[in-house]
Chains A and B, each alone.
Chain A
């Protein structure tokens, strides 16, 4: 149950000293969803991927890498 993408979500989050709960609140998702995203066990929809990219101020391709 692992994604074919590698993501740098955890790196981006820890750079800002955010907890998973902090990130979840800002994205409007549950903490369990953030955990699944970080572990690469759930691929976000395109709208959620854009929200993540916008939140961190980076292009999607630098966060989700194939």
Chain B
């Protein structure tokens, strides 16, 4: 794997739900240590594309390449095994369960009893979860709190913690700052920069262009389920991107991702 191999790449992804075309021939490329901002109006297909990348939806057409290897993701577990983590728009947390149980949901730490029976090690889960939250400087009363007792910002923090606790190579964040207060928004954005500095690829979906412009290296625009435009941050500006979101293209923009070499 060379430095120029994308850590994740989608080629010609199409996704249909019955008669509805959510995605048509969409390409995406993310390099190591890069933040890609994905923007587009409601219904443009951003969340659907992310769910394909995260293994939740199998694409009807197209292929995924992870570290240059063509891969088929049959489930979110496959994606996680390959280091793809996602923070969902609705957080996808189990309110009735505790913070540490949510962070380790589906990959609970176990300890072998009687030599061979794996039993969930609640204490180890709690300790690891606490350590991870401390690293992210997230403050909660206790990792034993149930998620339903947390504020909106804390819940968002737990969702982010879940996505960053497991040696991810790609972290996808779908509207991670939508319900947050200003200070909390800043924390998430700085975390994204932190992840990038550690060589992790981050995909950020957001309606808040200020946030996107603050952290992204490149911006990609989807329109009606297709690639519409793409540019490095340095080569574009807010107004142009807003135009792209609304479907107005100016002459110079040939989406670089259309060219699949």
Q: Do A and B come from one complex?
A: no
A residues apposed to B, CB below 8 Å? none
